[in-house]
Structure 1
């Protein structure tokens, strides 16, 4: 007998909800049904009620959380609201998906993990870039072993936006804001998936724009992560990077290297209205294929390495549906998000004090 879809409440109706959650949830109708959306202040050209007829529209989180029929709450609001909303939803008996960054502090992460355990409800963090095509390609390269022993691993998310952006929440100084909580959360999570928790962190967290936004959040960061008997890892996001093609990955080993430019295409495709299952969705253009260099006859020889066809970001919700039915674990464990927060907090301490921080420190 087929079980009924899980009822989902979406909290927030900004870019995250419209691009990264609603289309993916709608693509799995046998698993999920969007029963309502919280939008505090609809506008003529931005109205969830008009965009999604037949779906309940609430004006506050409390209204949505009080609905007995809601099985899953998806929190897509600004980072400093995540803790209170996740806590209330879990205590109300809802399963929770929360956008990255998980929460701004380790203390908050600890408390939410305890509440999830106590209530028996699932808690997961939306780290969709675990299903980027280039990250899946990189994992395939590493599995094949052609690079030998990895000595250095670089992950970049650089862009060229030298002018200060409009005044949005993303550029304001507040808990969970700034580049390390935005793009850094993705790249740190990918590194954690590959190598686990590092022993030491050296962080440089700064603002690169010529005209710094008064009181604004940091816009750039470089982290050096040290692993015992492992590679030296660089995690970088720059906002001043005038390149025709931005470097994404550069991995060097004893018998080869792998270099990849450009970012995964799924975000831009979702913004343009494409959906998983559409022809070409998530497929990298040949111009962005990576380069694999191997040592052949004592000399380096480069070859093009095609990007794999991804399972797409929909895989997150497909796995989450299985977890809700007790068939697997959640797609991203909150413990993983907590471990990444420990790296971020160490990076801030390192940047402030000008030293390498051991993760054995409290």
Structure 2
């Protein structure tokens, strides 16, 4: 573990740097890669022999002569100093600290919303959003940055682009300046929090320049999109594809110009492939994942993780034994409508959620691919249910107590999946949630209908069309399936006078390549996985219990997941 000294001291009684930095401290500890020592006494800077990096956020200064000399010597001998927020201004009278920085900060600008852009490429800013917003104070360099410094973040400021964060070598060590911050609002920005985490890791000497080679096991319907994302995410590179079908192998070679293999074993034998994405049908997932882990590869498994909980437990044990990363491609966690719904629930602004109804479907003939053949797919539950149950378990944190489900086969005789499946979950705290997937639903329910103790949310389907011109210049309207557009979210809150106020939520921007960016951040920098395999285990536990319930005529099945 990397030892960090977090010096969080405030001279102004209205400031509490330690409380404001709590989200950062939780993130550092959650990764398991850092040992964090939080101090408010500047005398602790006089002995840094047991630390590799100092994160300083303070308005208390100047430093005493002993602390100044010790800190300066320690950095030049190989330590890392991240001077955040008002730290450099507080220490402006310390000559040795000014020499580490190579510049003096300008006057502080009071808290305002800033547009922040990575200056990259650089290990600290690779894979950050191209632009994000932070509400924070700002202190720019008063006379420009030194020539040997590397800009990390820029902000547009009064018709100019100004450097708001930088890194600079200091002897054998590293100095980083972050001129953005000052309070809890800054730490509330996920992108800025990620930047601070990386700055600390870089200050500690963690600067991975390597690229992980990735192989796709299976080149099916969405494999090309996997390949596109891998080509856009720094730190990952597509290096191989395996597929049994010669036509799909030829397609992969033409799409990406990478090595192709007839068998998964051929892909696993390729030393250039370090990460395997398992995109084969669900009934093959466990076997291929276990083989990849045994071959020493990190693994991304398409959803559903597996069809049996026993297979999941075997995969989790194998990943732990091999000390390899295992995660599941739950890419719809980043759908803008779900992100907005989750933020509303987790904000507490509508109280505690206690009831959820969710729906997907319509009236239409199912496809003829393996997705509709239960022995391969696992059945109707495992298709969209992999996403909807995942969403439900993110919204309701309590343990699932029981699951009951019913399935009906009424119309489509040419497929083995059920036409209509309804799942009911009951949680340990009494909350309940249901999921309905129906391919014989002539009337659509809302995507989500959520009730909480102080409000509710309804996610209505949007009926969108793509308009083009035909060969005779006529207007052609292509109606999108409801699931192809984000839902329209309306929040309902009691107004205290017997009525209800309504608010239509503005959806956040979709985060491009979010899953693979997080995977690279985890492999290269040790950042937490967005989809821990234990989350996917809960998902499979619920869907397997639903399958058992259907077999028992809808009888509730105990889960404890």
TM range (shorter): 0.7 to 0.9
Deviation of the 1:202 alpha carbon: 1.2
Residue 341 (structure 1) aligned with residue 540 (structure 2): yes
Is 1:151–1:231's contact at 8 Å kept on the other side of the alignment? yes
Is 2:330–2:531's contact at 8 Å kept on the other side of the alignment? yes
Match of 1:48 in 2: 252
Q: Distance in 1 between matches of 2:327 and 2:462?
A: 24
Q: 1:77 aligns with which of 277, 280, 298?
A: 280
Match of 1:156 in 2: 359
More contact order relative to length (CA 8 Å, sep ≥ 6): 1
Q: Distance in 1 between matches of 2:426 and 2:253?
A: 49
Q: Distance in 1 between matches of 2:520 and 2:238?
A: 14
Give the TM-score, by structure 2 length. Answer: 0.56
Residue 358 (structure 1) aligned with residue 558 (structure 2): yes
Residue 172 (structure 1) aligned with residue 373 (structure 2): yes
Structure 1 stretches of 4+ with a deviation exceeding 6 A read 284-287
Residue 187 (structure 1) aligned with residue 388 (structure 2): yes
Is 1:203–1:222's contact at 8 Å kept on the other side of the alignment? yes
Q: 1:247 aligns with which of 442, 446, 458?
A: 446
Cα 1:191–1:286 shift into 2, 3 Å: closer
Is 1:105–1:341's contact at 8 Å kept on the other side of the alignment? yes
Q: 1:198 aligns with which of 377, 395, 400?
A: 400
Counterpart secondary structure, 1:40: coil
Q: Name the one with the larger strand percent.
A: 2
Cα 1:33–1:286 shift into 2, 3 Å: closer
Counterpart secondary structure, 1:174: helix
- Higher mean C-alpha displacement, 234-243 vs 287-296: 287-296
Alignment of 1:175-324 (within 5 A): 175-196=376-397, 197-208=399-410, 210-213=411-414, 216-243=416-443, 247-262=446-461, 288-296=487-495, 297-312=497-512, 314-324=513-523
Deviation of the 1:228 alpha carbon: 2.8
Deviation of the 1:329 alpha carbon: 2.6
Q: Distance in 2 between matches of 1:219 and 1:94?
A: 38
Give the TM-score, by structure 1 length. Answer: 0.85
Match of 2:301 in 1: 98
Deviation of the 1:141 alpha carbon: 1.3
Counterpart secondary structure, 1:15: coil
Deviation of the 1:352 alpha carbon: 1.7
Deviation of the 1:164 alpha carbon: 4.5
Cα 1:229–1:44 shift into 2, 3 Å: closer
Q: Distance in 2 between matches of 1:83 and 1:38?
A: 17
Is 1:136–1:310's contact at 8 Å kept on the other side of the alignment? no
Q: Distance in 2 between matches of 1:18 and 1:184?
A: 23
Cα 1:288–1:44 shift into 2, 3 Å: closer
Deviation of the 1:152 alpha carbon: 1.2
- Higher mean C-alpha displacement, 221-230 vs 61-70: 221-230
Cα 1:47–1:199 shift into 2, 3 Å: same
Cα 1:32–1:219 shift into 2, 3 Å: farther
Q: Distance in 1 between matches of 2:227 and 2:462?
A: 22
Is 1:221–1:238's contact at 8 Å kept on the other side of the alignment? yes
Q: Give per-residue Cα distances to partners, 1:154-200, cap 9 Å, x unaligned.
A: 22222331x3533x211223154322111101111111122233111
Is 2:491–2:503's contact at 8 Å kept on the other side of the alignment? yes
Q: 2:311 aligns with which of 108, 130, 138?
A: 108
Is 1:151–1:253's contact at 8 Å kept on the other side of the alignment? yes
Cα 1:144–1:338 shift into 2, 3 Å: closer
Is 1:205–1:348's contact at 8 Å kept on the other side of the alignment? no
- Higher mean C-alpha displacement, 2-11 vs 145-154: 145-154
Match of 1:276 in 2: none
Q: 1:131 aligns with which of 328, 331, 334?
A: 334
Gap runs ≥5 in structure 2: 1-206, 467-482
Q: Distance in 2 between matches of 1:87 and 1:124?
A: 13
Residue 36 (structure 1) aligned with residue 225 (structure 2): no
Q: Distance in 2 between matches of 1:177 and 1:327?
A: 34
Is 1:154–1:250's contact at 8 Å kept on the other side of the alignment? yes
Aligned positions, number: 335
Cα 1:67–1:193 shift into 2, 3 Å: same
Cα 1:231–1:46 shift into 2, 3 Å: farther
Q: Give per-residue Cα distances to partners, 1:244-268, cap 9 Å, x unaligned.
A: x762111112332211123899xx9
Gap runs ≥5 in structure 1: 269-283
Counterpart secondary structure, 1:310: coil
Q: Give per-residue Cα distances to partners, 1:182-234, cap 9 Å, x unaligned.
A: 110111111112223311111113335x13226x1234321111113342111
Counterpart secondary structure, 2:502: strand
Superposed CA RMSD in Å reads 2.7
Match of 1:25 in 2: 230
Q: Distance in 2 between matches of 1:285 and 1:211?
A: 23
- Higher mean C-alpha displacement, 39-48 vs 116-125: 39-48
Cα 1:123–1:2 shift into 2, 3 Å: closer
